[in-house]
Homo-oligomer: A and B are copies of this chain.
Amino acid sequence: MAAQRGQRGGVGGDTPPAPTAAEITTPIPRVADVPAARERARAVPEAAVARLAVYLRVLSAMQEQGAVTVSSEELSAAAGVNSAKLRKDLSYIGSYGTRGVGYEVTVLIEEIERILGLTRKHSVAVVGIGNLGHALANYGGFPGRGFPVSALFDVDPDLVGVPVGGIAVHHIDDIPRVCSEREVSIGVIATPPPAAQTVCDRLVEAGVQCILNFAPVVLQVPDHVEVRKVDLAVELQVLSFHVARRADDAAATGGRQVNGMVVS
């Protein structure tokens, strides 16, 4: 068992991990025709992967508005990064731009989707149908599609059998069976903290290799399981830190305050 790496806790902010490339054993190609682009995927930095997802969303919005071409300048502005970073990120997945012109929107969308593995459906199981679990289940076919919620679990016998967002809730004892049957590839943990590790163990037992953890707990998982964490308390505390820093600066420089916080 190894503790999850990083924190990406990042609900947003957080500071991410960077799964050591060294962990990945050298591949010994045996099957013919592994596309070269896939080979390259291995080299995309974790930080860039997260941004590719953002670019993809921006590109989809642009496409809906009829855009055919974008320059790195336009796209980067819309995504909130600088253009050099955008170009570097795109260069990790290949050369799909035209010098002097820009990128074709549809081409970029296709390539990013391919690299992110979005050409395939990823069934999601949500465990813990409290307030948050309810909200997650009702996203109904998670953000951006491609992530159908196909199983719900809870310990509460009163909840078992009740449909939430169109799907019946199962008991957590059935995690292994149901997850295997429905080929769940991503488990979402939205339980109270004390239950999180147990639930996690069952998901792993069921063959789930990716976990999105909303419980404020550091999960212990085998090396082959990928965990990402969304930690509300951490997010708020990081913001709190910034408020405090500003207050200190104000105390030191004599700035004005509004809402207990420093202005300018």
Contact = CB atoms under 8 A, between A and B. Distances in A.
Nearest to A257: B207
Interface stretch (A101-109, A155-163, A182-190): A182-190
Interface residues of A, number: 115
Nearest to A140: B131
B241 A235 contact: no
Given A12-B212, A27-B249, A226-B239, 13 more contacts: A7-B80, A8-B235, A10-B14, A13-B228, A15-B50, A15-B51, A53-B237, A118-B237, A184-B259, A207-B259, A209-B262, A210-B239, A212-B235
Contacts of A131: 134-135, 138-139
Contact of A236 (B5, B77, B186, B244): B186
Interface in A231-262: 231-249, 251-254, 258-262
A264 interface: yes
A13 B8 contact: yes
A261 B224 CA distance: 11
Given A16-B15, A185-B243, A53 B10 contact: no
Contacts of A53: 231, 233-234, 237-238
Contacts of A78: 218
Contacts of A22: none
B236 A34 contact: no
Interface stretch (A40-48, A64-72, A166-174): A40-48
A252 B117 contact: no
B231 A12 contact: yes
Interface in A119-157: 120, 122, 124, 130-132, 134-135, 138-139, 142-144, 146-147
Interface in A1-32: 3-19, 24, 27-31
Contacts of A248: 34, 38-39, 41-42
B218 A252 contact: no
Interface in A183-237: 183-186, 206-210, 212-213, 216, 218, 220, 224, 226, 228-237
A50 B242 contact: no
A62 interface: no
18 contacts: A4-B80, A5-B80, A8-B11, A9-B10, A12-B230, A13-B229, A19-B242, A30-B252, A31-B252, A46-B238, A58-B218, A117-B241, A120-B243, A142-B232, A185-B259, A185-B260, A207-B263, A210-B242
